[in-house]
Structure 1
């Protein structure tokens, strides 16, 4: 029963609970204060409930507890790219939010739900919200294992849009047959061969830039690694960037992809270009399939810049480099390849992701059926038409030399 007590000039209600015994067998008591009897009793009840389940009391906010978790646990046990992703989401989304100031022991599912709903209303992408959800779930599971909390507040949360509904929100842009023919007309250069390799294999840009000559044998590509530029934290406020080669993040991304026999002449040209480049720039021999002018890994950002210039010089509407991968998948669907095979070639974890292409292909065919009919009648050639996307002017001027430096 809470009794009235006075601390300084203010009156409070106080209640006491026995929380254990010392080495002499005497009771260890803890006092709980509240502005009302009900508040004091509630604090005692919450403490005893947690104490019964072995929960360790803490006054740390979600922000403070998560900061400690990031720098003392995740930074040590995770890849640099993983830590970078976690740190960015924490700093940009979680730390500035309302849940950051709530005690880690007092946060509930309703707090998390409100946080996600706010992100969604502020036009945060569903993919980002899902990523934040995975990070928070991982974090609260850590607190659960540390007996700081008794239940994971992410457990009963519903994401603003279910993952199965993403298919209706995914924007897939592909290159037409006419666009592809234009790409063939590019002069032989590093960027041309990288673009064609993506079209013929469906590999991601990081997977392509990590390839060595040994990874492509008898027109079979072995995908076992990826390369990217990662921010490496020296301290909490200083960092530098490094090129990091790592295994793909999912087991299904480790795969073999056959190249069409028609690509073999381009492989010969790639090797010829590599030999010529090594002689011209006099760097140590390298086994990289697409080395930089220094014989090192190419920077994906530099590749993207050259890719943009190439599209502009060909008068092709800009699409992200990943659209080459989208085009590869869509063309396989057009050819009647089954979804499971395409999923394995792309390295997707589930066929659900792959089915996006079938969905988009069906929608596009329905929208342009009359155009397709006229094309079949005139040329007997099947051309994939593309949804119109607003033109975006490149900030980079077209350069005569499309090679990557």
Structure 2
């Protein structure tokens, strides 16, 4: 609670605050010793008591609740605007803060937060720790704890990308069944993530134009179920991908005329599981997501500017995958580079993709 400060006039003053419905409310209280029989100590105590009484006057006052309850309220208040995967992550974060869940949110200081960081550094990488702590600081700010936390994070380790080469991709395709062939083509040539592949519907595919409209994802809901999400990982991930005709030849055929039918009746976890089995069989050291890196790599080797690679993969200009290029994308140039990339894919992969596995 705030301490009363003696003013030049001799009166004691407290600047108090509390949070109601996510809004910080401030109020000052002043008591002069004359109101207490010229007793300065009594005036100070009375001033602080008035402030405390005001702060405790509402049950939903967030300045007096514990960190655990504050986290729950913070999540509940945002449940309508956050994605299912974000809500699930936030709820999972709570267990990392077990040592402070019973402490009032307003009383958390730098020492508490730094101890949490030190404990998490034993098992988690720097990026994960920063995500969790940033969430905690948002909760504390929401509850009126506006301290300037001077904390230090572990040094971020440089990430090494595992990029398969052309022989690796050929070996995967040569041993894949029809479904996995289609999935590998979409990832390695079309840059689709596993969630984007799982969320692909027939309405998103133009077989005439040889284009795929990527605008949806498959994510885990707070209840642990896979759900369709209209927007993918980031707004920049919404894109159209043009691919060689043979890729569309190996896509699963629709079982109905319903445009809402999913192309693959698989959730992301199952896609990764099937790919993992194929990868082990072929002795290829890469994940399905690493095929996106291959998609960027072979385009770079073909001297396609980064701007066009970013566009087809939904990467940002500051992505760790690519070097930023600041030239503007012209439609005529875009068409030329699409043709270069697709010619490379056709030359190297058309026969092996269309070959039937005995």
Band of TM-score, shorter chain: 0.5 to 0.7
Partner of 2:212: 221
Counterpart mapping for 1:3-402 below 5 A? 44=48, 58-70=63-75, 72-91=76-95, 93-94=96-97, 96=98, 98-120=99-121, 122-143=122-143, 148-149=144-145, 151-154=146-149, 156-161=150-155, 166=157, 168=158, 170-186=159-175, 188-217=177-206, 218-232=209-223, 241-259=225-243, 263-270=244-251, 273-275=252-254, 278=255, 285=258, 287-288=260-261, 290-292=263-265, 298-313=266-281, 315-355=282-322
Give the direction of change, closer, same or farther, for the CA distance of 1:80–1:352 in structure 2 (3 Å limit): closer
**TM-fit CA distance, 1:254:** 1.6
Unmatched segments (≥5 aa) in structure 1: 3-15, 22-26, 29-36, 233-239, 293-297, 358-401
What's the CA shift for 1:63?
Answer: 2.1
Q: Could you say if the C-alpha distance between residues 219 and 158 of structure 1 is closer, same or farther in structure 2, counting changes exceeding 3 Å?
A: farther
Uncovered stretches (5+) of structure 2, i.e. residues with no partner: 4-11, 15-27, 56-60, 325-356
Q: Secondary structure at the match of 2:64?
A: coil
> Separation in 2 of the partners of 1:58 and 1:228?
34
- Contact 1:339/1:354 (8 A) holds in 2: no
State whether residues 210 and 288 of structure 1, in contact with CA within 8 Å, keep that contact through their aligned partners in structure 2.
Answer: no
Cα deviation 1:127-164 (Å, max 9, x = unaligned): 21122133123323322xxxx33x1555x434323xxx
CA RMSD of aligned residues (A): 3.7
- Contact 2:202–2:259 (Cα < 8 Å) also in 1: no
Q: Equivalents in 2 of 1:299, 1:319: separation in Å?
A: 20
Q: TM-score, normalised by structure 1?
A: 0.60
Cα distance between partner residues in 2 of 1:78 and 1:107: 26
Distance in 1 (alpha carbons) for counterparts of 2:257 and 2:204: 20
Contact kept, 8 Å, 2:205 with 2:213, in 1: the verdict is yes
Shift of 1:104: 1.1
Q: Deviations over 1:194-231 (max 9, x none)?
A: 01111001111111221223323323332211112324
Aligned partners of 1:219 and 1:264 also within 8 Å: yes
Q: The residue matched to 1:140 in structure 2 has which SS? A: helix
- In the alignment, the residues of structure 2 paired with residue 171 and residue 287 of structure 1 have an alpha-carbon distance, to the nearest angstrom, of 38
Corresponding residue SS for 1:221? strand
